[in-house]
C-alpha cells in the first residue's frame, strides 16, 4: 500500500472504468493498464493501477467517477517555450519565403531583436494578456505544466517583467509554470560590438537580481554563432552555479559549438535542439544525466535538414523530451500534440517515445520527475482524459484535439 496512506486519509475521487497510460517504464508499452483505477486525495495520486488490486481502504471514496472507458495520461508538459513576448514576426516569415535565411535576418538586426523591441514596449498587464492568449490553446489540449523563458527583454527591467508575467500565468491559470532566465539569448542593440560587456551585465547585475527576487527556476543560454560563444555561456553558467540555480542550454541548433558537452560539464537539466550534436556530446550528456529536448516545430519551420542524433540518444540512454519551443521566430506553434506527430514523422520517434517526451521525460528535463510526468502514487494528481482508442492516436493524428477532461492537482479544471 502507498506509504502516504493512513486510516485518516480520505479518498476524494476515485476514477474507475478507465484505461491508464501511466508512462511508468516496465513491460507494458505506455505503462498501460486496461481496467484501471485512479485514487486521488489532497491533490496527489494515492493509487494508479489495476482496479482489481485497488486496496480495500481506497474503495470508500467521497466521489466515484466513471470515465466511460476513457484513456487517462499524465498531464502533458511543455518543457521549452518562449511564450511571453510582444509583437509578431509574420513579416519575417514572408521575407524568409522570398529567400532570406533565419541567420541573415538575425544578423541584419531583425529576428530575435525585433521581438525584443516589441517586448520592451509592453507594460506588464498587456504582456500578460498577450501571453495568456498563447498559453490557453496549450491548456485546452491537456498541458498542465509549462516552462517559460525570458530573453526578449535583454535589459534588467524587461527581463524581470517577462519573468513576473510568467510567474503570474502560473498563479492565474491551472498550470505549473517553471521559469527560466535566458538573458544570454541575443546581443541587445545597445551592446553592439560589445558582447563581453553584455555578458558582464548579465552576470553582475541582471542574473543576481533575478535570483534575489526568486524569479527564475533555471538559467539558459543560446550557444550559437549568431548568439554567444561557449566561453561566454560558461561565464553565465558559473554565475548560475554560485547562485544555486540549475542550467540548461540551446545547443547545436544551427551548428556544432560543443554546447552539449558544455551543458553536461555543468550537469545541465537539459540540452535543447541538438540537430548538430556529435556522438561525443551525446555521450557527455549521458554521463551527466542531462536530458535531450527535441524541438520539431523549429526544425520544421526553419526547414532544417539535419536531423537530431536520435539513435545516439537512444543508444546512450539519454532521456528524450519534446516541446513546442513556442516563440515568434522559429516555432510559432500553439500545439504540443502536433509536436508528437512531427517528432514521429520528422525525427522517427515512436508514438510511445513521443508521449514519454511530453510526460515522464519532460518532467525530468525540468527537474520535476519526483512530482510530475507519470501516473504513480505520491505524484501530483495532474492528468488528462482522452477520447481515443489507443495511446498511439495522440501522435498519429494531427490537427485533432481529443482531450475531454483535465485534472490539475486533483481538481477538474476542464
Ligand atoms: N532558439 C530558438 O529556436 C529560439 N531561440 C533560440 O535560442 C528562437 C527565438 C526567436 O527567433 O525569436
Ligand atoms: Fe528555444
* pLDDT digits 0-9 by tens, 40-77: 999 999 999 999 999 988 888 779 999 999 999 999 99
- Go through the chain and tell me how many residues it has: 414
Quickly count: other Cβ atoms within 10 Å of residue 201's Cβ.
18
Please tell me the residue having the least CA distance from ligand 1 atom 9: 329
Please report the DSSP string for 324-349 in residue order: ---BTTTB----HHHHHHHHHHHH--
**CB neighbour list of residue 118: distance below 8 Å, 6 or more residues apart:** 85, 86, 87
**Degrees, nearest 5: CA angle 288-27-337:** 70
Angle at which helices 156-172 and 112-120 pack, to 10 degrees? 80
**CB neighbour list of residue 381: distance below 8 Å, 6 or more residues apart:** 40, 43, 44, 45, 407, 408, 409, 410
Quickly count: other Cβ atoms within 10 Å of residue 200's Cβ.
13
Quickly count: other Cβ atoms within 10 Å of residue 408's Cβ.
22
Give, for ligand 1, the residue of 84, 107, 112, 263 to mutate: max count of ligand atoms closer than 8 Å to Cβ.
Answer: 112
Atom of ligand 1 nearest to the CA of 250: 7
- Would the CB of 222 count as within 6 Å of ligand 1? yes
Instruction: Give the pLDDT confidence score for residue 110 in this predicted structure.
Output: 87
Instruction: Give the pLDDT confidence score for residue 109 in this predicted structure.
Output: 82
Atom of ligand 1 nearest to the CA of 302: 3
Instruction: Give the pLDDT confidence score for residue 3 in this predicted structure.
Output: 44
Q: What gap in Å lies between CA 125 and CA 56, rounded to an integer?
A: 50
User: 11 with 23: CB under 8 angstroms?
Assistant: no
Pairing of strands 291-294, 320-322: parallel
Instruction: Give the pLDDT confidence score for residue 90 in this predicted structure.
Output: 95
Atom of ligand 1 nearest to the CA of 186: 7
3-class SS at 223? Answer: strand
Please tell me the residue having the least CA distance from ligand 1 atom 8: 330
Half-sphere exposure of 143 (CA within 13 A, CB side): 31
- Would the CB of 253 count as within 6 Å of ligand 1? yes
Q: Distance from the CA of 160 to the center of ligand 1, in angstroms?
A: 19
Q: Distance from the CA of 214 to the center of ligand 1, in angstroms?
A: 24
Beta partners for 405? 385
Q: Distance from the CA of 128 to the center of ligand 1, in angstroms?
A: 20
Residue range 16-25, pLDDT digits in tens: 999 999 999 9
Q: Distance from the CA of 325 to the center of ligand 2, in angstroms?
A: 5
Q: Grid coordinates representing 399? A: 490537427
Instruction: Give the pLDDT confidence score for residue 382 in this predicted structure.
Output: 98
- Would the CB of 73 count as within 6 Å of ligand 1? no
User: 270 with 218: CB under 8 angstroms?
Assistant: no
3-class SS at 384? Answer: strand
Instruction: Give the pLDDT confidence score for residue 9 in this predicted structure.
Output: 60
Low pLDDT (below 50) residues in the chain = 1-8
222 by Cβ neighbours in 10 Å (0-12 / 13-18 / 19+) ranks as buried
Instruction: Give the pLDDT confidence score for residue 183 in this predicted structure.
Output: 98
Q: Distance from the CA of 370 to the center of ligand 2, in angstroms?
A: 25
Instruction: Give the pLDDT confidence score for residue 4 in this predicted structure.
Output: 47
Atom of ligand 1 nearest to the CA of 295: 3
Atom of ligand 1 nearest to the CA of 325: 3
User: 13 with 61: CB under 8 angstroms?
Assistant: yes
Instruction: Give the pLDDT confidence score for residue 154 in this predicted structure.
Output: 98
Amino acid at each position: 500500500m502507498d506509504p502516504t496512506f493512513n486510516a485518516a486519509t480520505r479518498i476524494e475521487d476515485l476514477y474507475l472504468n478507465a484505461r491508464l497510460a501511466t508512462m511508468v517504464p516496465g513491460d507494458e508499452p505506455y505503462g498501460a493498464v486496461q481496467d484501471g483505477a485512479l485514487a486521488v486525495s489532497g491533490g496527489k495520486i494515492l493509487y494508479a493501477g489495476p482496479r482489481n488490486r485497488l486496496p480495500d481502504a481506497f474503495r470508500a471514496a467521497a466521489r466515484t467517477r466513471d470515465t466511460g472507458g476513457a484513456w487517462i495520461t499524465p498531464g502533458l508538459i511543455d518543457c521549452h517555450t518562449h511564450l511571453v513576448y510582444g509583437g509578431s514576426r509574420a513579416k519575417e516569415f514572408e521575407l524568409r519565403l522570398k529567400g532570406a535565411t533565419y541567420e541573415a535576418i538575425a544578423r541584419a538586426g531583425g529576428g530575435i531583436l525585433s521581438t525584443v523591441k516589441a517586448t520592451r514596449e509592453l507594460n506588464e498587464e498587456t504582456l500578460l494578456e498577450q501571453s495568456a492568449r498563447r498559453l490557453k490553446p496549450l491548456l485546452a489540449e491537456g498541458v498542465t505544466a509549462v516552462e517559460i523563458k525570458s530573453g526578449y527583454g535583454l535589459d534588467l527591467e524587461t527581463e524581470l517583467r517577462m519573468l513576473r508575467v510568467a510567474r503570474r500565468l502560473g498563479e492565474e491559470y491551472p498550470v505549473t509554470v517553471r521559469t527560466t532566465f535566458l538573458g544570454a539569448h541575443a546581443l541587445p542593440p545597445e551592446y553592439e560590438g560589445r558582447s563581453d560587456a553584455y555578458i558582464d551585465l548579465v552576470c553582475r547585475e541582471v542574473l543576481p537580481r533575478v535570483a534575489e527576487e526568486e524569479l527564475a527556476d533555471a538559467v539558459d543560454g543560446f550557444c550559437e554563432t549568431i548568439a554567444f560563444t561557449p566561453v561566454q555561456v560558461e561565464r553565465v553558467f558559473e554565475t548560475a552555479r554560485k547562485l544555486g540555480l540549475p542550467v540548461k542550454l540551446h545547443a547545436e541548433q544551427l551548428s556544432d559549438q560543443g554546447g552539449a558537452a558544455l551543458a553536461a560539464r555543468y550537469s545541465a537539466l537539459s540540452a535543447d535542439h541538438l540537430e548538430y550534436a556529435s556522438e561525443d556530446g551525446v555521450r557527455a550528456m549521458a554521463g551527466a544525466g542531462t536530458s535531450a529536448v527535441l524541438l520539431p516545430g523549429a526544425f520544421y519551420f526553419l526547414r532544417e535538414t539535419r536531423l537530431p542524433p536520435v539513435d545516439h540518444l537512444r543508444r546512450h540512454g539519454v532521456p528524450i523530451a519534446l516541446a513546442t519551443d513556442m516563440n515568434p521566430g522559429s516555432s510559432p506553434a500553439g500545439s504540443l500534440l502536433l509536436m508528437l506527430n512531427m517528432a514521429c514523422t520528422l525525427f522517427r520517434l515512436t508514438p510511445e517515445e513521443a508521449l514519454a517526451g511530453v510526460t515522464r521525460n519532460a518532467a525530468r528535463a525540468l527537474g520535476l520527475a519526483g512530482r510530475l510526468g507519470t501516473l504513480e502514487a505520491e505524484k501530483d494528481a495532474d492528468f488528462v482524459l482522452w477520447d481515443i482508442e489507443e495511446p498511439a492516436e495522440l501522435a498519429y493524428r494531427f490537427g485533432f484535439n481529443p482531450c475531454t477532461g483535465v485534472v490539475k492537482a486533483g481538481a477538474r479544471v476542464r
